[in-house]
Copies of this chain bind each other. A is one copy, B any other.
Amino acid sequence: MTAPTGRRERKKAATRQKIADAALRLFLERGYEEVGIREVAAEADVAVTTLFAHFPSKEALVFARDRDFERGLVDAVAERAPHEPLVPALRREVLAMVRHCAVEGAAPVRRLVEGSTALRRHEESMLLRHADALAAAVADDLGLPRATTACRALARFVVDAHVLARGADDPEAAVGEIFPMIEAAWSAARHPGTTDQSATQPS
């Protein structure tokens, strides 16, 4: 995981970490909106421009580990056991993510995100990027040159499941409720005409 590269890259990673730590500490102490970028930079003993060299926006400071989520979804498809069906593998991964958000020290960060519309919006658009990546992974897994409509739909449904489960009273039960729906949808996409009661209406 930690590539043992030269001192330069180590220092860069350390700076990035120092900034993320300082930001999270301040945000948790006093609230996201109440802390300015200039303050975060000062706390991390770094120039504002340096901060923006490591993070593209203030919101990104809170989601420093978002790449892991995307990789998790993509890997759940690409590196699952041979011949394991697609949707159950995704279900396992989403369940793991939901649990990860519930336990651990993640609860305060969750509250932070829910408390700011800017952060909620940022998270949503992150998840949409993840859906695109997942769609591509699914298409690749099926040997398709590019993501079809069905692949994209599946990917968005899975991301929806993640979001809805997080917001539900009982997240794990919600996963258990949504994934049969996704299973049915995916099944319908692969075996068309079975349960389709509606037809294209030309007028």
- For the complex, give the distance between the alpha carbons of A161 and B95 in Å: 24
**When A183-B196, A184-B188 are in contact, do A161 and B153 touch as well, CB less than 8 Å?**
yes
For A160, the chain B residues whose CB sits under 8 A away are 153, 156-157, 160
Name the contact of A164 in the complex, choosing from B156, B161, B200, B201 (C-beta under 8 A): B156
Within 8 A of B (CB), among A80-99: 85, 87-88, 91-92, 95
Q: How many copies of this chain?
A: 2
Docked-complex contact A188 and B197, CB < 8 angstroms: no
Name the contact of A189 in the complex, choosing from B91, B180, B188 (C-beta under 8 A): B180
CB distance from A169 to the nearest CB of B (A): 9
Residue A50 CB within 8 A of the other chain: no
Docked-complex contact B149 and A177, CB < 8 angstroms: yes
CB distance from A9 to the nearest CB of B (A): 29
Segment of A24-32, A34-42, A106-114, A121-129 in the binding face: A121-129
- For the complex, give the distance between the alpha carbons of A161 and B198 in Å: 15
Beta-carbon nearest neighbor of A186 in chain B: B181
Beta-carbon nearest neighbor of A90 in chain B: B198
CB 8 Å contact bits of A170-203 with B (1 = contact, 0 = none): 0011111111111111111100101111101100
CB distance from A180 to the nearest CB of B (A): 4
Docked-complex contact B195 and A95, CB < 8 angstroms: no
For A177, the chain B residues whose CB sits under 8 A away are 149-150, 153, 189
**When A88-B197, A160-B156, A185-B181 are in contact, do A149 and B172 touch as well, CB less than 8 Å?**
no
Docked-complex contact A153 and B172, CB < 8 angstroms: no
- For the complex, give the distance between the alpha carbons of A125 and B152 in Å: 19
Within 8 A of B (CB), among A143-161: 149-150, 152-153, 156-157, 160-161
A interface residue numbers (CB < 8 A to B): 85, 87-88, 91-92, 95, 121, 124-125, 128, 149-150, 152-153, 156-157, 160-161, 163-164, 168, 172-189, 192, 194-198, 200-201
